Amino acid sequence: MRDERPLSHVSAPVLALLAAGLALQLGLHAALPAPRAKAPDLLLPPASSLLRLASLGEPIALAKILMLQLQSFDYQSGSKVPYKDLDYSRVEAWLARILELDPKGQYPLLAASRLYAEVPDEARQRRMLDFVYRQYLLDPNRRWPWLAHATFLAKHRLKDMDLAIKYAAALQKYTTAENVPIWAKTMEVFIREDMNELETARVVIGGLLSSGKITDPGELKFLDGRLREIEQRLKKGASSKPQRGKGNEAVGHAAPLR
Amino acid sequence: MLRHILPIARYTLLEALRNRLLWLALILIAAGLAFTQFLQQVSITESNQIQAALLAALLRVGAVFMLAGFVVTSMVREFNDKVMELILSRPMRRSSYFVGKLAGFTAVALALALIFSLPLALFAPVPRVALWGLSLACELLLVTAFALFCVLSLTQVMSALAAVAGFYLLSRSISALQIMVANPLSDTLSLGQGVVGYVVDAIAFVLPGMDRMTQTAWLIYSAPTAAELGQLLVQTVAYVLLLCGAALFDLQRKNF
Beta bridge mates, B254: A4
CA distance A235 to chain B (A): 49
Mutation target vs A (from B54, B141, B171, B179; most A CBs, 10 A cutoff): B179
pLDDT of A258: 27
- Percentage above 90 pLDDT, chain A: 23
Per-residue H/E/C for chain B: CHHHHHHHHHHHHHHHHHCCHHHHHHHHHHHHHHHHHHHHHHCCCCHHHHHHHHHHHHHHHHHHHHHHHHHHHHHHHHHHCCHHHHHHCCCCCHHHHHHHHHHHHHHHHHHHHHHHHHHHHHCCCHHHHHHHHHHHHHHHHHHHHHHHHHHHHHCCHHHHHHHHHHHHHHHHHHHHHHHHHHCCCCCCCCHHHHHHHHHHHHHHHCCCCHHHCCCHHHHHCCCCCHHHHHHHHHHHHHHHHHHHHHHHHHHHHECC
pLDDT of B161: 96
Q: Is the pLDDT of residue A48 over 70?
A: yes
Q: Residue A159, by phi and psi: left (phi above 0), alpha (psi -120 to 50) or beta?
A: left
pLDDT of A82: 58
The single-letter code of the amino acid at A101 is L
pLDDT of B196: 83
pLDDT of A255: 32
B182 contacts in A (CB within 8 Å)?
34, 72, 75, 77
Give the integer Cα–Cα distance in Å for B151 and B72.
Answer: 6
pLDDT of B102: 96
The more confident residue out of A201 and B124 is: B124
Give the integer Cα–Cα distance in Å for A31 and B227.
Answer: 13
* Cβ within 8 Å, pair A18-B249: yes
The more confident residue out of A205 and A174 is: A174
Give the integer Cα–Cα distance in Å for A59 and B89.
Answer: 54
Asked if residues A223 and A186 have their Cβ atoms less than 8 Å apart, the reply is: yes
Asked if residues B120 and B55 have their Cβ atoms less than 8 Å apart, the reply is: yes
Residue A2: band (very low, low, confident or very high) from pLDDT cuts 50, 70, 90: low
Interacting residues of A69 by C-beta distance below 8 A, sequence separation 6+? B176, B180
Residue A222: band (very low, low, confident or very high) from pLDDT cuts 50, 70, 90: confident
The more confident residue out of A154 and A192 is: A154
pLDDT of A41: 66
Q: Is the pLDDT of residue A167 over 90?
A: yes
3-state SS, residue A207: helix
B243 contacts in A (CB within 8 Å)?
21
Reported as a single tens digit per residue, the pLDDT across B216-230 is 889 888 899 999 999
pLDDT of B189: 64
3-state SS, residue A4: strand
Q: Is the pLDDT of residue B40 over 90?
A: no
Q: Which of A9, A35, A115 sits opposite B179 (nearest CB)?
A: A35
pLDDT of A193: 77
- The Cβ-side half-sphere exposure at A150, using a 13 Å CA radius, reads 33
B180 contacts in A (CB within 8 Å)?
68-69, 71-72
pLDDT of B21: 92
pLDDT of B255: 82
Give the integer Cα–Cα distance in Å for B185 and A179.
Answer: 29
**CA-atom Rg of chain B in angstroms:** 20
Q: Is the pLDDT of residue A207 over 80?
A: no
Q: C-alpha angle A86/B210/B169, rounded to 5°?
A: 90
Please provide the average confidence, as pLDDT, over all residues in chain B.
90
pLDDT of A83: 67
The single-letter code of the amino acid at B194 is G
A138 DSSP assignment: H
Asked if residues A77 and B182 have their Cβ atoms less than 8 Å apart, the reply is: yes
B185 contacts in A (CB within 8 Å)?
71, 115
pLDDT of A249: 34
Give the integer Cα–Cα distance in Å for A182 and A178.
Answer: 10
**Candidate from A57-71, A154-168, A193-207 with smallest mean pLDDT:** A193-207
pLDDT of A31: 87
* Cβ within 8 Å, pair A17-B241: yes
A139 DSSP assignment: S
Residue A149: alpha-carbon gap to chain centroid = 6
Residue contacts between A and B (CB atoms, under 8 Å): 94
Out of A126-130, A194-198, B87-91, B197-201, give the one with best mean pLDDT: A126-130
Asked if residues B164 and B147 have their Cβ atoms less than 8 Å apart, the reply is: yes
The more confident residue out of B43 and A160 is: A160
Reported as a single tens digit per residue, the pLDDT across B222-254 is 899 999 999 999 999 999 999 999 999 999 998
Crossing angle for the helix pair A122-138 and A161-174, to the nearest 10 degrees: 10
Characterize A95-106 residue by residue with b for buried, 16 or more Cβ atoms within 10 angstroms of its Cβ, and e for exposed: bbbbbbbbbebe
pLDDT of B187: 57
Its ipTM equals 0.75
* Cβ within 8 Å, pair A21-B95: no
Residue B103: band (very low, low, confident or very high) from pLDDT cuts 50, 70, 90: very high
**Candidate from A42-51, A63-72, A81-90, B58-67 with smallest mean pLDDT:** A81-90
The single-letter code of the amino acid at B236 is T
Reported as a single tens digit per residue, the pLDDT across B173-215 is 888 778 777 766 555 667 777 788 888 888 988 999 888 899 8
The more confident residue out of B22 and A215 is: B22
Q: Which helix (H) or strand (E) holds A49?
A: helix A48-54
Give the integer Cα–Cα distance in Å for A175 and A173.
Answer: 6
Q: C-alpha angle A38/A42/A48, rounded to 5°?
A: 155
Mean pLDDT computed over B29-47 = 80
Mean pLDDT computed over B53-66 = 92
How long, in residues, is chain B?
Answer: 256
Mean pLDDT computed over B153-165 = 94
B208 contacts in A (CB within 8 Å)?
25
Q: Is the pLDDT of residue A51 over 60?
A: yes
